[in-house]
Amino acid sequence: MRILLVGAGGVGSAVVPIAARRDFFEHIVVADYDRSRAEAVVSKQVTLQAASGQGDVRFSAIGLDASDQGAVEAALREHDCDVLFNAVDPRFDMPLFRAALNAGAHYLDMAMSLSTPHPSRPYELTGVKLGDEQFAMSPEWRAKGRVALVGMGVEPGLADVFARYAADHLFETIDEVGIRDGANLVVEGPDGEESFAPTFSIWTTIEECLNPPVVWEDGDWHTTEPFSEPEVFDFPEGIGPVECVNVEHEEVLLVPRWVNARRVTFKYGLGEEFIDVLRTLHKLGLDSTDPVKVKGMEVSPRDVVAASLPDPATLGGRMRGKTCAGTWIKGTGKDGRPREVYLYHVVDNEWSMREYDSQAVVWQTAVHPVVALELLARGAWKGEGVLGPEAFDPVPFLDLLNEYGSPWGMREQ
pLDDT score, position 334: 96
Instruction: Kindly report, residue by residue over 104-149, the tens digit of the pLDDT.
Output: 999 999 999 999 999 999 999 999 999 999 999 999 999 999 999 9
Residue 66: CA count within 13 A, CB half-sphere? 25
DSSP 116: B
pTM of the model: 0.91
| Residue type at position 394 | P
CA 212 – CA 182 distance, rounded (Å): 20
Q: If you average pLDDT over every residue of the chain, what do you get?
A: 93
What pLDDT sits at residue 55?
Answer: 59
- d(C-alpha 107, C-alpha 24), whole Å: 17
Domain 158-360, what architecture?
2-Layer Sandwich (3.30)
* Domain ranges, ordered by start, for the chain: 2-108, 158-360
Give the integer Cα–Cα distance in Å for 199 and 313: 8
User: Using one digit for the tens of pLDDT, what is the confidence trace for 153-182?
Assistant: 999 999 999 999 999 999 999 999 999 999
> What backbone torsions phi and psi does residue 264 show, to the nearest 5 degrees?
-135, 130
User: What is 303-347 written as a DSSP string?
Assistant: HHHHHHSPPGGG-GGGEESEEEEEEEEEEEETTSSEEEEEEEEEE
Helix, strand, coil % over all residues of the chain, rounded to 5: 40, 25, 35
What topology does CATH give the domain 2-108? Rossmann fold (3.40.50)
**Tens of pLDDT along 265-310?**
999 997 777 778 888 888 888 888 888 898 888 888 888 888 887 7
